Amino acid sequence: MDTAEIRRRFVDHFERNGHQVVPSASLLLDDPTLLFVNAGMVPFKPYFLGQETAPYQRAVSVQKCVRTLDIEEVGKTTRHGTFFQMCGNFSFGDYFKPGAIEFAWTLITSSVADGGYGFDPEKIWVTVLHGDEETKRLWQEIAGLPLERIQERGKLDNYWNMGVPGPGGPCSEIYFDRGPEFGAEGGPEADEDRYLEIWNLVFMQESLATVRAKDDFDVEGPLPAKNIDTGMGLERVAFLLQGKNNMYEIDEMFPVIEKAAELTGRTYGADAADDVRFRVVADHVRSGLMLMGDGVTPGNDGRGYVLRRLLRRAIRSMRLLGYEGRALEQLLPVSLAKMELGYPDLRKDWQRISQVASAEETAFRKTLAAGTQLFDNAAEETKSSGATVLSGNQAFALHDTYGFPIDLTLEMASEAGLTVDEAGFRSLMAEQRQRAKADAKAKKGQHADTGVYREILDANGPTDWLAYETLETESRSIALLSGGASVGSLAQGEVGELVLDRTPFYAESGGQAADAGVIEFDGGKLEVLDVQRPVRGLVVHQVRVLEGEFAPGSALHAKVDPEWRLGARQAHSGTHVIHAALREVLGPTALQSGSFNRPGYLRLDFGWTQSLTPAQVRDIEQVSNEALRADLPVGWQYMTLSEAKDWGAIALFGETYDDTKVRVVEIGGRWSRELCGGTHVDHSSQIGTLVVTGEASVGSGNRRIEAFTGVEGFQYLARERDVVGELTGLLKTQPDDLVGRVNDLVERLKSTEKELEKVRLAALLGSAGEIAAGAQDVNGINVVAHRLDGAGGGDVRTLALDVRGRLPQDRPGAVVVIGNADGKVAAVAAVNDAGQARGVSANDLIRALGPLLGGKGGGKADVAQGGGTDASRIDEALQLVATEVARAGGS
């Protein structure tokens, strides 16, 4: 039974039993506590936490998941993988233990002909929480399991909680006995390789007050409603039903191994080390495909770094298997052919995915070419010194200068029998980044304790949100908060959070900044600083008291600043226009990955692997303004998410949408259709103007366009006009001739600078003869020690070499010149052949002077150079030259 069929049977089974089919959420679900969705219940977390009310009582899903904590173990064992799929059924206050057990038992043991999986009931074992007699009895009654195949285990194994205060409860795990060839008898307690867990049924029934550890917590009391959360590992069931020994050999993964074997000429199963690499390739190629499918692009931080690491580990594993060609373009299509059966959007996005992967492989091949040799040199140097630890400085240099990721350095060091000073590396990284700013505002929307907001919502219902309908309304206060707690009043100048029964203010979302405005009350006025939705349905205003003292109870009049809203509408509609223009100019793979807009300004991030040409930027700007001139109608309507996708609407990667109702904004019909909850103009001409002000990289595979709209766009153009006017006046030319005139001036300036450089160099070298003539005799060696203030390293080296050339070549000679410019000291030593024969070395001279100058340096016996930061000891260093020459040259 292939994996797609296992997935289909799971969903069909629960749909027949009254469960709402919920599509897999994106791996990039908006949850700041998680880098990626890592469990099937994550999309339902707000329902279990009580932050939102579930729109259905029963649900079934097959959720994409990624876990990367054990990424180094992938391939070394057959149990660790980064991407996996969790089949789950959920009950929100509906059925409980009997229903969950019966549904699971029926599916796994029913015959294949009847739509089940056909597992042998005699090989099924279960575990329950120690002392949970009810669950033991239910397994006996419903499934007919004998007591000897029901084992009790402690909280560490059979109690589920989220690791924080909230819901929790005992769980019952279902195991399949693979047979004596896989381990000892005795059930899961004896051997979890032989007895493989395939399904976990969680019975959420308690509210936890404090959670100190997985098995150490305080129970506050029973939950108001009992819930069910289950998880069946799709890959585990697949390899059991397909008669394989591990997840790497199932139909969704093994074809990648087969392709890798074909490309490398190696055989899977013939060599243990090769097998690890084959499994790394299979896992990481599939995980990379799914992450790119959900909009992740390789980068140096967060999600982007995880993807980069996965792709680069796969590429390097192929190289270790002997394949030097481009690997991803060979392997990703194989994975696509299997994964698109369950996730058809992958095929639609294939062009973008393949472009992102190709760009990353190109970049990594360059990194490998430059960095591998440097690593080998560093490793050899470390070993030759008798050490076993690669220094943090060396690891940092590989990372900072050549883009070698630290995890790759760690892997290569391990293969070379070395370790890495990770603490030293991390310390240097911390010094470089200096990320000291902890802007509290950046944490808006994070899951802090939302309990107080949930209580307000439960007591008063959702806010009557009127942002689409009006700019002002009469309101009354529902709650007033300060520091997360209810307060009775706010004095003039104080800041707090105000919840209204109704509001016209737009709460920040979808990249659009919150509205500005005021809330008036009898005897005073509040300034609205920010507007957020900490829980769905509740709008919270951050306010500052401008006049009077504010206390809840008085009648309020909420007023959005109309100019602010107009500017916001122009900018948000402008973002959609720019996005459509991007796709028209660059092609359909140029998709938005993020945006921000406020009155008069917008920025749009999009997936693209190379910088745009000036002509492309001009074309995007022109297409945008042609759309404005065409006065395209702007409209919106509500529909289901599946209807919106069928209609061609574009959804932003990583955003969460309600499948029961989404808002689709269109500009000019099919030209621009996007899922969006923002405020917009009624016709494109109302945007006024769109002026693209910049295009730049914001990470590998991601670009950003910035633009001004409306009055701000005209103001930007006016400033540009004024600059052109001033320049034409200064240069006494016409605007059309301005570029040519400036080019002429630049060329003349460059020519003049070259002539000046020649004069300056001639003057510098003109003094060389006089300096050489003043050489000091030190034991028969001509020694010159000269100070050259105001000179940098290049001039110092030029003078030192010229002076050495003017010394008599039949006598030993040594020259040291030390310069000082812009707070930096540069020193160069030059020794002729006769001087070297007497034992004088330029390298030794520089090394001796370095500590005095606050630096270091080196080179060869004939020429060496160094630098430092302590100019106060230059004269002392010059005096040391004669001493060092005398010591080296003997008497």
Q: How far apart are CA 518 and CA 559, in angstroms?
A: 5
What is the CATH number for 130? 3.30.930.10
* AA letter at 200: N
**pLDDT tens per residue across span 187-213:** 999 998 899 999 999 999 998 888 888
Residues 584 and 648 in one domain: yes
Is pLDDT of 395 > 90?
no
* 259 vs 328: CA distance, rounded Å: 11
Per-residue pLDDT, 448: 45
- Give dist(CA 359, CA 352) in Å, integer: 11
Q: What mean pLDDT is predicted for residues 707-719?
A: 93
Whether residue 742 sits in one domain with residue 697: no
| Residue 473 confidence (pLDDT) | 96
- Long-range (24+ apart) CB contacts under 8 A made by 215-222 are 215/154, 215/155, 215/156, 215/159, 217/161, 217/168, 219/168, 220/165
Residues 571 and 527 occupy one common structural domain: no
The pLDDT tens digits for 652-710 are: 755 556 656 889 999 999 999 999 999 999 999 999 999 999 999 887 678 899 999 99
Give CA–CA dist 363/360, Å, rounded. Answer: 5
Alpha-carbon distance values, 870 to 780, 792, 827, 851, 881 (Å): 31, 14, 12, 9, 17
Least confident of 440-454, 691-705, 715-729: 440-454
Is 65 among the annotated ligand-binding positions?
no
Q: Which residues pair with 477 in a beta bridge?
A: 500
Measured CA to CA, the distance from residue 1 to residue 14 in angstroms comes to: 19
724 located within any domain: no
Domain harbouring 810, CATH code: 3.10.310.40
User: What pLDDT is attached to residue 444?
Assistant: 40
Q: Are the CB atoms for 540 and 533 separated by under 8 Å? A: yes
Q: Which whole-number Å values give the CA distances from 768 to 14, 261, 361, 796, 818, in the listed order? A: 92, 67, 53, 11, 14
Q: Which of 370, 400, 433 is the last residue of a domain?
A: 433
Q: 18 lies in a domain?
A: yes
Please report which helix (H) or strand (E) contains residue 864, including its range.
strand 863-868
Tokens of 470: 């009006």
Q: Does some domain include residue 782? A: yes
| Dihedral of the alpha carbons of 773, 774, 779, 785, in degrees to the nearest 10 | -120
**pLDDT at residue number 434:** 53
Find the mean pLDDT for residues 846-859: 90
Say whether both 43 and 166 belong to one domain.
yes
My answer on whether 315 and 341 are in the same domain is: yes
Which of 158, 127, 163, 160 has the alpha carbon at shortest distance from 145? 127
- Lowest-pLDDT range of 62-71, 207-216, 654-663, 746-755: 654-663
* Residue 726 within a domain: no
Q: Residue 436: what pLDDT?
A: 32
Q: What pLDDT does residue 165 have?
A: 82
Q: What pLDDT is attached to residue 66?
A: 93
Q: Which of 473-477, 645-649, 677-681, 726-730 has the lowest mean pLDDT?
A: 645-649
The residue count of the chain comes to 891
Alpha-carbon gap, residue 515 to 468, rounded angstroms: 12
The model's pLDDT over 117-174, given as tens digits with 9 standing for 90+, comes to 999 999 999 999 999 999 999 999 999 999 999 999 999 999 998 877 888 999 999 9
> Which pair of tokens denotes residue 446?
């994070």
Going by pLDDT thresholds of 50, 70 and 90, the confidence category of residue 822 is: confident
> How far is the CA of 298 from the CAs of 366, 546, 790, in angstroms?
15, 47, 46
Q: Pick the closest to residue 863 from 797, 771, 778, 768 (CA basis).
A: 797
Which token pair is 272?
Answer: 């243990």
- pLDDT recorded at residue 439: 36
* Distance, CA of 421 to chain centre: 25
Q: Report the percent of the chain where pLDDT is more than 90.
A: 62
| Same domain? 556 vs 571 | no
Determine the average pLDDT of the residues in 215-223: 89
Give the tens place of pLDDT for each residue, 581-632.
999 999 888 888 889 999 999 999 998 888 899 999 999 999 999 999 999 9
Structure tokens at 427: 């310390």
- Per-residue confidence at 359, pLDDT binned at 50, 70, 90? confident
440 occurs within a structural domain: no
- Is 890's pLDDT higher than 80? no
Using the 3D structure, point to which of 541, 560, 579 is the last residue of a domain: 560
Residues 544 and 654 in one domain: no
Q: State residue 520's pLDDT score.
A: 95
Q: Is 557 annotated as a binding residue?
A: no
| Token pair recorded at residue 476 | 């009354």
CA distance 299 to 114: 48
Do residue 551 and residue 697 come from a single domain? no
Are 332 and 353 contacting, i.e. CB atoms less than 8 angstroms apart? yes
Q: In the structure, what pLDDT confidence band is assigned to residue 32 with cuts at 50, 70 and 90?
A: low
676 is in an annotated binding site: yes
**CA pseudo-torsion sign 24, 30, 31, 34:** positive
Each residue of 771-793: pLDDT tens digit? 999 999 999 999 999 998 888 88
When divided into structural domains, the chain yields a total of 6
Q: Name the domain boundary from 410, 433, 456.
A: 433
Burial category of 377 from C-beta neighbours within 10 Å (exposed 0-12, middle 13-18, buried 19 and up)? exposed
Same domain, 572 and 556: no
Domain membership of residue 443 (yes or no) is no
Which pLDDT does position 438 carry in this prediction? 38
Query: Is the model more confident about 412 or about 471?
Result: 471
Would the annotation count 576 as a binding residue?
Answer: yes
The predicted pLDDT at position 440 comes to 34
More confident position, 452 or 136? 136
The answer to whether residues 7 and 154 belong to one domain is yes
Q: What pLDDT score was predicted for residue 442? A: 39
pLDDT of residue 443 exceeding 50 = no
User: Rounded mean pLDDT of the chain?
Assistant: 89
Helix (H, G, I), strand (E, B) or coil at 721: helix
Rg, C-alpha atoms of the chain = 35
Q: Which pLDDT score, from 0 to 100, does residue 47 have?
A: 86
- Residue 645 CA to residue 641 CA, distance in Å, equals 6
Each residue of 361-390: pLDDT tens digit? 988 887 777 677 778 888 888 888 888 898
10 Å CB burial of residue 442 (0-12, 13-18, 19+) is exposed
Name the token pair of 829: 């030593």
| Cβ(140)–Cβ(170) below 8 Å | no
Supply the range of the domain harboring residue 546: 448-560
491-541 per-position pLDDT tens digit? 999 999 999 999 999 999 888 999 999 999 998 999 999 999 988 889 999
Structure tokens at 732: 């006494």
Residues 602 and 688 placed together within one structural domain of the fold = yes
Same domain, 336 and 420: yes
- Would residue 728 count as lying in a domain? no
What separation in angstroms does the CA of 245 have from each of 3, 91, 238, 449? 15, 33, 10, 44
Task: Specify if 262 maps to a domain.
Answer: yes
